Amino acid sequence: MYNQCTLIGRLGADVEASSTQGGKDVANFNMATSEKWKDLDGNIQERTEWHRIVVWGTLAKACSNLRKGQLVHVVGRIQSRSFEHGGQTKYVTEIKADTVIFLERGERGGEQSSGFDNARPQARPPARGSRSAALPDGMPF
């Protein structure tokens, strides 16, 4: 079984960064993804989905520079959890991010943000003996 999602979207608000009591960095942000299509009448329709992203460790510290509206690429896993609030059980589904790639630089107090701005996905050579090594386009099937 495999749990992975890849999203490219824009932040709906600035990142909320903090540390746990144990000193581990954590960052939370909401991002929007959208799709457009033409309906049967030829009208353009659009649907936006909102995703709650959670980032831990050194990546969380780098994400604290992200601001509302910036375009990011997130790779992570979907995780649901529950918590008590006001005597009621609430449920939330989050993306626990393993990778966040800043696709745009943002402005913060006149300075450009830093972090993983230059971290772009790079192709890796296929593993020795892997099936994709024999295919010209690198596809595994």
User: How many angstroms separate the CA atoms of 14 and 64, rounded?
Assistant: 8
- Supply the pLDDT for residue 112: 35
The pLDDT of residue 131: 46
Specify the pTM: 0.70
Quote the distance between the C-alpha of residue 75 and its chain's center: 5
Q: What is the mean pLDDT of each run of 10 residues along the chain (141 residues)?
A: 96 95 95 95 96 96 93 96 94 96 67 38 43 47 41
Q: Distance (Å, rounded) from C-alpha 116 to C-alpha 120?
A: 8
| d(C-alpha 13, C-alpha 66), whole Å | 9
Q: What is the model's pLDDT at position 105? A: 73
**C-beta of residue 127 within 8 angstroms of C-beta of residue 112:** no
Kindly report the CATH number that applies to the domain delimited by 5-37+44-134.
Answer: 2.40.50.140
What pLDDT is stored for residue 108 in this prediction? 44
Confirm if 6 and 78 have CB atoms less than 8 A apart.
no
**Two tokens at 29?**
């942000």
